[in-house]
Structure 1
Amino acid sequence: MPSAQELLWTGFRGLDAAEVDLPFRPGGLILFARNLDPDPAQGPARCRALIDGLQARFGADLPLAVALDQEGGPVSRLRPWVGATPPLRRIWLGGGTAACESWGRLWGEGLRQLGFNVDFAPVVDLWDGHPGAGIGDRAASGDPAETAAAAGAFLHGLESMGVRGCLKHFPGLGGTTLDSHLGLPELADAALVDRNAAAFTALAHPDRLVMVAHLRTPASDPLPASLHRGSVAANPWGIQGRFLPDDLEMGGCADWSWPERVRLSLEAGHQWLLVCQTPEGWTACAEAVGTMPDALCLGPLQATRNLRRNLPPPPGTSFDPTAWQDWLMRLRAAAEEV
């Protein structure tokens, strides 16, 4: 029988599968720099071996969803292996949709070689020029239509290579001045919230992964949008998707207990529970979801298992260093042209 802990898309410690110690069976995993050997010579092959080992361990019934945040620019988990790469805004301004699609394709190709089947990208927030809010040039444009065009092209390229993307951070952090890793940002202007959300309208559909921000809006107050059903499954813009909250360990939702975070997330309509940073956090989240009524977990659990059932098939039988080097040369050449 499936367990409610399969709703967790969790971080973990370790660079090799034998080191990974999780007290539950997750449905998804997310890798961070702490899970990647920074040595460019051995790191990529070691990453593929890690993912293959975790798939064998946790994905025998259904494939695991295995993700990371690989946007390029300032959010690039692969930076130690590939060097500096451009953020989405620079790609958009320099080459429009063609360049955005090309970069999505490049990242998708490399991620598939490593064994990933999900990338938590692209950013669909509106660019606002605020230096300290955590978004900056990760966002393509301050115009909703341009943002949707850039993100949509990147997404098309990424998914054409067999890696699912994820729209973030719905309904949009444009105009905020506080990084939601540190606390709960707020947008008091409902019209600005509507403008931010407009960038997601053309891109979201019922099978699209959509990450919801820890952001207080006039509609969600006093909750963050991530924990508010009227901002998730019952959002006023009619945007559908496979919703998941941003990392539930972030400062933006720290004022709520773990049982409250989990209950409110499930009531809001999330299909996954994303918890990334510490053993204490993912253990507390797993314990909390285990106390939830079956009726609250059954729908999300069916949805997450359906997504896993339809993930792209695994790549070839082993890591190919020649193909990796070929990809790396093309990626670096593309970076020099931006």
Structure 2
Amino acid sequence: MHSSEQLLWTGFRGVDAQDVDLPFHPGGIILFARNLDPDPETGPARCRSLIDALQTRYGTDLPLAVALDQEGGPVSRLRPWTGPTPPLRQLWTQGGAEACSAWGRLWGEGLRMLGFNVDFAPVVDLWDGHPGAGIGDRAASEHPFEAASAAGAFLHGLESMGVRGCLKHFPGLGGTTLDSHLGLPALEDTEQVDRNARAFVPLSHTDRLVMVAHLRTPASSGAPASLHRGSVAENPWGIQGRFLPDDLEMGGCADWSWEDRVRLSLEAGHQWLLVCQTPAGWTACAEAAAQLPESLWAPALKASRAMRRHLPPPVPFESQRWKDWLSRVHTSAGRI
């Protein structure tokens, strides 16, 4: 095992642990719909068994960081079990900070039972009404102060239940018209970039996860912000945090080789390497990290391991407790 492998927060294939075949030992994993049995009767307990087994396999030294994207609304990995739930914009416009906080607590409670310790949420991007840019009603408001208030309330609820949140997608995708899954969006207006970033300012601190977007700005020297140190560790807004790039398999950074994606990510100041979709991608990412000098990956490894050291243990998964939680989710969704 090469120590730099622990920088990877990786996707994987398989619904049961015996089907998971990673050629390295990651420091974090992220689950997608492909990893979850959609059957609401068997799926939740099966998910918990999968996570427990992978913790035993990869987390003997330090707890494994275990994440998914659970925002509610259109990005809800738990939807096969919970049914439809409101997006952040609906929570904010119809229920304000109280509703955002309540749903953060709800998701945190359920995720902790399933064995997750990180949720890649909330979205802090500004709402702009563009239908094709991949954000839409995942964003709470077009106003930076309101976006920060909604996201901050959601975070407070989520983290009060022992699940870490993650601010995304810094410095903000508001005003873009291209989905960064497909290509590299660009913002040419410096004022728009500053306005977007303003929503992140009151929420950041040195121990907070911050996901950086594949987004070209006037300051990013032609590269995605995610691969540019002046947009990450040395960003002009003073945003601090435990930075990680958005999925390094996305179209927004596909024009860069794996060697460059990994090297530039670490030079930018990221503490993790997020790679989600294919065995070829996560293997290439791990191999590229292993080729870099230790002086480049060692500081990130030290920081990411420090975070893992303080991840809370899961709470017991109990069938009746899960059913009670699910009932409250359904009731709360019906009220919005």
Question: After TM superposition, is the score higher than 0.5?
Answer: yes
Q: Shift of residue 315 of structure 1?
A: 1.8
Structure 1 CA distance for aligned equivalents of residues 335 and 183 of structure 2: 37
Give the structure 2 partner of residue 205 of structure 1. Answer: 205
SS at match of 1:202: helix
Measure, in 2, the Cα distance between the counterparts of 1:242 and 1:65: 13
Distance (Å, rounded) in 2 between the aligned partners of 1:189 and 1:315? 47
User: How far apart are residue 221 of structure 1 and its match?
Assistant: 2.8
CA distance in 1, matches of 2:14, 2:319: 22
Alignment-derived partner of residue 281 in structure 2: 281
Give the equivalent residue in structure 1 for 2:325: 327
**Other-structure match for 1:192:** 192
Q: Which runs of 5+ in 2 are unaligned?
A: none
Q: Which residue of 1 aligns with 2:80?
A: 80
Partner of 1:240: 240
SS of the equivalent of 2:106 reads helix
Q: What does the per-residue CA deviation read over 1:260-319, in whole Å, with 9 as the maximum and x for residues that have no partner?
A: 000000000000000000000000000000001100011000000000001112322xx2
Identical-residue share of aligned pairs (%)? 76
Provide the C-alpha distance between the structure 2 equivalents of 1:57 and 1:106, rounded to a whole number of angstroms: 29
How far, CA to CA, are the matches of 2:140 and 2:124 in structure 1?
8
How big is the shift at 1:39? 0.4
After TM superposition, the structure 1 = structure 2 runs for residues 35-184 of structure 1, keeping only pairs within 5 Å, are 35-184=35-184
User: In structure 2, what is the Cα distance between the partners aligned to 1:33 and 1:313?
Assistant: 23
> Using the alignment, how far apart are the partners of 2:208 and 2:293 within structure 1?
26
Contact 2:105 2:160 in 1 (8 A): yes
Q: Determine if the alignment matches structure 1 residue 230 to structure 2 residue 230.
A: yes
Q: Output the TM-score relative to the length of structure 2.
A: 0.99
- Rounded to whole Å, the distance in 2 between the matches of 1:50 and 1:243 is 27
Kindly indicate whether residue 330 of structure 2 is the aligned counterpart of residue 336 of structure 1: no
Report the Cα distance in structure 1 between the residues aligned to 2:220 and 2:325, rounded to whole angstroms: 44
Residue identity opposite 2:296 in structure 1 = L
**Partners of 2:51 and 2:207 in 1: CA distance:** 24
Q: Deviations over 1:97-133 (max 9, x none)?
A: 0000000000000000100000000000000000000
Task: Please tell me whether residue 33 in structure 1 is matched to residue 33 in structure 2.
Answer: yes
The separation in 2 between residues aligned to 1:315 and 1:19, in whole angstroms, is 25
Structure 1 residues without counterparts, runs of 5 or longer = none
3-state SS of paired residue (1:38):
coil
C-alpha deviations, 1:209-258, integer Å up to 9, x for none? 00000000000031000000000000000110000000000000000000
Residue aligning to 1:270: 270
Measured in 1, the distance between the counterparts of 2:319 and 2:237 equals 46
Deviation for aligned residue 1:2: 7.0
Task: Report the counterpart of residue 17 of structure 1 in structure 2.
Answer: 17
Q: Structure 1 segments of 4 or more deviating over 6 A? A: none
User: Are the equivalent residues in 1 in contact too, given 2:2–2:290 (CA < 8 A)?
Assistant: no
Q: CA deviation at 1:166?
A: 0.1
Higher mean C-alpha displacement, 41-50 vs 305-314: 305-314
Instruction: Determine the structure 1 residue equivalent to 2:255.
Output: 255
How large is the Cα RMSD of the aligned pairs?
Answer: 0.7
